[in-house]
Structure 1
């Protein structure tokens, strides 16, 4: 059995329907037609505002309408918690997408063109597309996380805003206006009922009354049969037109109008009762908060107020020239050099109040800086020395009973700041477009292996280090991490890669290492991952070994094949077969080895 309960919350003027099980199709359609929407996270139906029809439906379904247990702020905080959960999930997914992009392009630096040197250009372009797609996904998910973060903050801020005394006072003013409107509707219907209830109603009197009583109805031939020349039109028409067209007589017009206006009065009375209850609640809550600023310090002529139209766009004070029932009158100048204008400021729009005595005391203390147009003044901590224009004084202070307090921005963690910077870098990279540049025989060294090579080389600050096949600079970066003060020389035959390395601040010679003329004196250590094509790794390694200083160390990667085992392994002081698939990320599964040689 489905158990239904209903609640009403005066905080937000909303009706809620709770169901223990799924509604049947007919009831669901009725609830939806009445304007209720399903809130899945709260597991309830909610209507945007109270209406008599919605109240009747809930009374029919649930039997009674109870008060909502949770306050507006509590519901906002629960909503913010859900939004925070959404935000956390999107942040996690964004991090995962970013990590996927990093894994594919681990040899390349964020913010630079992705230089792909796979032996298959088709694979290179496919990987570039995967990188771009994951980058786009990471940026999109990060933006979505930001959206939910702002929604969470906004939900709580909006609830707190609605509870502010000045906002509550404006809400009371709007409810009072709505109530007056319903009271006018009721009064108009009562007037019409009185007019139609006269004795001896004739056709002439009926038409005279219908001339101001704007009731309309569709007069079907089945319900109101008539013969020509009476109007045969069955669509909606006013009572006056129906009387004039011979569609109905005076008594029928009276019966129709009385029925309409009695229903209108009953409807208006329900609205009026609802507004009366809302006003009682809002006024009690406002009184409990101590009222608005104007309630705590009564405005008076000769005093001053802070508001939007005060000098300096609200930073200063405007003189009160008159106190009205629900507003004060101030002088305002639009900055056009003309005369001053009178401006009405509602009491609930006032931010702070000074009495006439407080203004007099401040003037006597020399703290008032009058505006040039005479509409108000600014306050200073100490005595004022000169008269200044309203735009010239900053940091104004005053008595101030204000309407709210500023909230400090939440602290942002270092991890989030770094992640946001990375996302911004990806966003910029996507704006520029991910470029594919093919560099044959380029197989970037995995970062972990590069760090191990720098460690085996024993590189320290001040050493002269050579990277004779620099590629994208992975080994250079590893040396920099191990010894920031090392002097590194790089050689790269591909002009585009060499140019990029120079942009990154690395001393790079562009050309073929086998014909490159090294500087005199040799190098303390050499780290390298040479090309493997047709045994060229052996040629490169042996030439590099000749460039070592006495006692120098060379650490290199080579193919782990018969020729390398025969020619290079006898010269190595350390030979290590690397795991299969070490360079799988670069598009090759060639067997490789890590070797260490000393100077000859």
Structure 2
């Protein structure tokens, strides 16, 4: 047995259904009533049917469609309205519950956004230092996987953050309309609207005749409207009773506001020709005619504007016995502060976006050996180099500019050399304060008139390339200068001729080797490294 019930407290709900029985598929259609499923109630019903007259058309259409499908259906309609004060009290409670739910929802989404943001931030550490993806290198697969995971986490954090902000805005908006509808000005307008609707209902109940006239005022045809009958009459009678109860409540509220001086009922009795009326909060116009519902005011055109009495905020009247007077309602007493505003801190995702963009744009071949210097390694290099403000510093094989950027922060003047054009573009974006950036092979360059106080570098390692780069870079030092470079740890113990010769050079210059912690360049590479410090030739 399917029962469609309606009362003003619960609205229109469908009882006796179960999942998969086909009832919802039938009555969800517009022509069959346009019913909806409410997850919070786990029931089927009509939207916005609580504390309203039953929509008999929708109810009867649903009942008819279900019967035609073989269901046994009964309809129970109770259109007895509730007291308007009770309606508003229940609505306020529901709004509070809704605000609590939205506030909790905002908190959940904010927590998920923060967790995803932190996850994306942790993954981004691999790319934040400017480490490009090395095509063909064993690290490529992991780097691409990390880039994808970072992108997914970043997108989730942005999506959840937007949902959190939206839920917070909705929570803060809950009740605003209800509070505004309780203001005296809105109440006065609602009274006028209610009275007009009641007059229309009375005409429909009693029947009326409408005369359609031509431009000369002669009847074209007469349109008779019979008195309402059947379901239509029942709906009108229920609506009339409800409106009369609402009207009684609103009039009492408005009378209290008038008694407290918080509202003035403007009309022909207190607005005169020659008065200045203020309306819409900012406009002030002189009255030229007083009507029953409106006043005509000067507009600056050839015709006056009309202003409803309910739109007037203040009147300046020069006709008082004791001289000009200003009539305006008192400001209502301030109520106690309501619940605090729901505020969800917005995540700053710009840094993550920049890292993701940089990771997407930085892909180089494995032969470039572009293992950029992590922050800890950069700090160690600059500490050993003792870079001072104003020094001229050279960084060969600058990559994406981690060392160069740190040198600029120290106030020194840096010049960079980078072979790869793609990395060179990233370098120019990340180190806009560089003195010069040369996109060319370091070995094709010769020291000119400009020599450097410091050379700080992280060259390629394989096949003794680091030895060749460091040896060539020593030629660019000023007397009294210093070179600090990252090298593969094998340089301190390997027995081939170039390594032995290089160690002899370091010893001759009173230089030193200092090991770096294992896997300082992980996860890009697990090779062990050292830092070499070599003073310039005197």
Q: TM-score, normalised by structure 2?
A: 0.67
Are 2:446 and 1:517 equivalent residues in the alignment? yes
Distance 2:330 2:446 in 1: 77
Alignment partner, residue 364 of structure 2:
438
Distance 2:388 2:179 in 1: 60
Alignment partner, residue 70 of structure 2:
none
- The alpha-carbon deviation at position 320 of structure 1 amounts to 1.9
Q: Kindly provide the CA deviation profile for residues 445-468 of structure 1, in whole angstroms up to 9, marking residues without a partner as x.
A: 223432343334333322332221
Alignment partner, residue 203 of structure 1:
none
State the SS of the aligned residue for 1:476: helix
Distance 1:125 1:595 in 2: 30
Distance 1:317 1:66 in 2: 37
The answer (yes or no) to whether the contact 1:107–1:474 under 8 Å persists in 2 is no
Distance of aligned partners of 1:69 and 1:332 in 2 relative to their CA distance in 1, 3 Å threshold: closer
State the SS of the aligned residue for 2:369: coil
For residue 147 of structure 1, the aligned residue among 147, 163, 166 is 166
- The alpha-carbon deviation at position 318 of structure 1 amounts to 1.2
For residue 196 of structure 2, the aligned residue among 177, 182, 186 is 177
State the SS of the aligned residue for 1:171: helix
Are 2:38 and 1:38 equivalent residues in the alignment? yes
State the SS of the aligned residue for 1:561: helix
- The alpha-carbon deviation at position 71 of structure 1 amounts to 6.4
Distance 2:442 2:535 in 1: 18
Q: Write the mapping of 1:25-104 to structure 2, written as runs, cut at 5 A.
A: 25=17, 38=38, 40=40, 47-53=48-54, 67=86, 70=89, 75-76=94-95, 78-104=97-123
Are 2:307 and 1:345 equivalent residues in the alignment? yes
Alignment partner, residue 526 of structure 2:
590
Distance of aligned partners of 1:105 and 1:554 in 2 relative to their CA distance in 1, 3 Å threshold: farther
Distance of aligned partners of 1:420 and 1:497 in 2 relative to their CA distance in 1, 3 Å threshold: closer
The answer (yes or no) to whether the contact 1:18–1:43 under 8 Å persists in 2 is no
- The alpha-carbon deviation at position 353 of structure 1 amounts to 2.7
- The alpha-carbon deviation at position 262 of structure 1 amounts to 6.7
Q: Kindly provide the CA deviation profile for residues 243-267 of structure 1, in whole angstroms up to 9, marking residues without a partner as x.
A: xxxxxxxxxxxxxxxxx83765554
Q: Write the mapping of 1:118-517 to structure 2, written as runs, cut at 5 A.
A: 118-120=135-137, 123=141, 132-188=151-207, 261=229, 265-290=233-258, 293-295=263-265, 298-308=270-280, 315-333=282-300, 339-341=302-304, 343-357=305-319, 419=348, 422=351, 435=361, 437-438=363-364, 440-481=368-409, 483=410, 485-503=411-429, 504-507=432-435, 508-517=437-446
State the SS of the aligned residue for 2:514: strand
Distance of aligned partners of 1:502 and 1:212 in 2 relative to their CA distance in 1, 3 Å threshold: closer
State the SS of the aligned residue for 2:174: helix
- The alpha-carbon deviation at position 417 of structure 1 amounts to 7.4
For residue 488 of structure 2, the aligned residue among 556, 559, 566 is 559
State the SS of the aligned residue for 1:597: strand
Distance 1:43 1:453 in 2: 69
The answer (yes or no) to whether the contact 2:117–2:154 under 8 Å persists in 1 is yes
- The alpha-carbon deviation at position 470 of structure 1 amounts to 1.0
Distance 1:69 1:157 in 2: 14
RMSD of aligned residue pairs (Cα, Å): 5.2
Q: Kindly provide the CA deviation profile for residues 267-293 of structure 1, in whole angstroms up to 9, marking residues without a partner as x.
A: 433221111111122222333444875
| Unmatched 5+ stretches in structure 2 | 1-5, 57-74, 210-222
Are 2:464 and 1:532 equivalent residues in the alignment? no
Q: Kindly provide the CA deviation profile for residues 143-165 of structure 1, in whole angstroms up to 9, marking residues without a partner as x.
A: 33333333233334333333333
Distance 1:444 1:80 in 2: 50
Distance 1:422 1:402 in 2: 52
Residues paired across the two proteins, number? 463
- The alpha-carbon deviation at position 515 of structure 1 amounts to 3.2
Distance 1:303 1:325 in 2: 16
Are 2:509 and 1:573 equivalent residues in the alignment? no
- The alpha-carbon deviation at position 490 of structure 1 amounts to 1.5
| Unmatched 5+ stretches in structure 1 | 1-5, 9-14, 192-210, 216-259, 309-313, 364-397
Distance of aligned partners of 1:214 and 1:461 in 2 relative to their CA distance in 1, 3 Å threshold: same
Distance 1:477 1:127 in 2: 25
The answer (yes or no) to whether the contact 2:165–2:346 under 8 Å persists in 1 is no
- The alpha-carbon deviation at position 530 of structure 1 amounts to 1.2
Distance 2:101 2:51 in 1: 26
- The alpha-carbon deviation at position 471 of structure 1 amounts to 0.7
- The alpha-carbon deviation at position 340 of structure 1 amounts to 1.8
Distance of aligned partners of 1:302 and 1:36 in 2 relative to their CA distance in 1, 3 Å threshold: farther
The answer (yes or no) to whether the contact 2:85–2:249 under 8 Å persists in 1 is no
The answer (yes or no) to whether the contact 2:454–2:481 under 8 Å persists in 1 is yes
